[in-house]
Amino acid sequence: MTLRVGLIGCGGMGRAHLDRIENELTGAKIVATADLNFEAAKAAAEPIGAKPYGSGAELIADPEVDAVLIATFGKVHAPDVIGAVEAGKYVLCEKPLATTAEDCIAIMEAEQKAGKKLVTVGFMRRFDAAYGELKEMVDAGEHGPVLMIHNRHRNPAVPDSYTSRMLIDDTAIHEFDTMRWLTGEEIVSVRTDPVRQTSRAHKNLQEPIVIVAYTESGARLDDEVNVNLEWAYSIECEVVMESAAARLGDQERIHVRDKFGNRNKMCQSHIDRFHDAFNKEVQEWILAASDDRHTGSSSWDGYAATAIVDAAVASQEQGGAEVKVELVEKPALYEEA
């Protein structure tokens, strides 16, 4: 069977997903595209013979669309995610699931009414090979429990439209998810530590920051968010257990040794750094949706990450105070099988 996918959002991320589904993955085809900028939907649809729409709602209503991939801005995710769930269609929604906890709760309510998990949140790092190895090592428990995790989330540059809040809701949200996933625990409190500011950021952006969070059992997690580095897109993660510290192999694909030294090429964007993880994530979603099963992170994971964002933003606004993460009771649908 070929899964007929409708793509909502034809910007950079949407087009990268279209490209992988059409050219790299198997089992699916993009049959429709939608974008509020209809010309963008048409430009993406034409070369592949898909149907363009000017809104997500029209695409979701198309009976020829089996499943929906959402790659619009986070702020506009909720109505399309809920629309797709109400239509009984599997959804892969780019992060964040939604930008407010209320919207995430509304999505979980729609899913509970549908009676099954239909939503996968695009936390692609869960599909990265090296993160997968870290997770296996932690789960095996051979080195004892996680005591600390040190993360570094570094980007070469961000556009002028990128705000201080986005350090948290657009960038650090990935670590909020990976830290919950790696530890298997909820994060209960968070604070943002101010750092001497880089002169490389545009004038309204207060960065870098370091976020410090604690899990239910007291594991301490930190995340340096530093997005105007110039030299690379670089992600680091070190998990400290009782008898081992395991560090993510960042991007050692090829080493060059010459008169300038011993070095490896650095990625310049998440699309490049996590190319294989994105492919695996979307391929597994295609297989699962074709098979009427859920895969990857759930709406609960999307909700928990957004609740941590809310607490971290509150801390940022309060000059670094420690803020509790408030979660609603976990609905039975999201308990592990």
Site string for ligand ISE, 132-161 (x = CB under 6 A): -----------------------x------
Would you say 129 or 244 has its CB closer to ligand ISE? Answer: 129
The reply to whether 228 sits near ligand ISE by the rule CB under 6 A is no
The reply to whether 170 sits near ligand ISE by the rule CB under 6 A is yes
Q: Report the amino acid identity of residue 107.
A: I
Would you say 171 or 178 has its CB closer to ligand ISE? Answer: 171
Binding range to ligand ISE, per CB under 6 A, among 105-113, 169-177, 288-296, 323-331 = 169-177
Q: Please name which of 241, 161, 159, 225 lies closest in space to residue 190, comparing C-alpha atoms.
A: 225
Binding range to ligand ISE, per CB under 6 A, among 167-175, 197-205, 236-244, 293-301 = 167-175
Out of 126, 135, 174, 294, which residue is the one contacting ligand ISE (CB under 6 A)? 174
Per rule CB under 6 A, count of chain residues that contact ligand ISE? 6
Out of 270, 285, 306, 312, which residue is the one contacting ligand ISE (CB under 6 A)? 270
Residue 71 CB, nearest distance to ligand ISE (Å)?
Answer: 11
Would you say 185 or 223 has its CB closer to ligand ISE? Answer: 223
Would you say 51 or 180 has its CB closer to ligand ISE? Answer: 180
Q: Which two tokens stand for residue 213?
A: 């969070």
Instruction: Indicate the burial class of 55 (C-beta count within 10 angstroms; 0-12, 13-18, 19 or more).
Output: middle
Q: How far is CA 44 from CA 18, 61, 81, in A?
A: 8, 19, 21
Residue 159 CB, nearest distance to ligand ISE (Å)?
Answer: 9
Please report, as ranges, the residues that interact with ligand ISE according to CB under 6 A.
Answer: 155, 170-171, 174, 227, 270
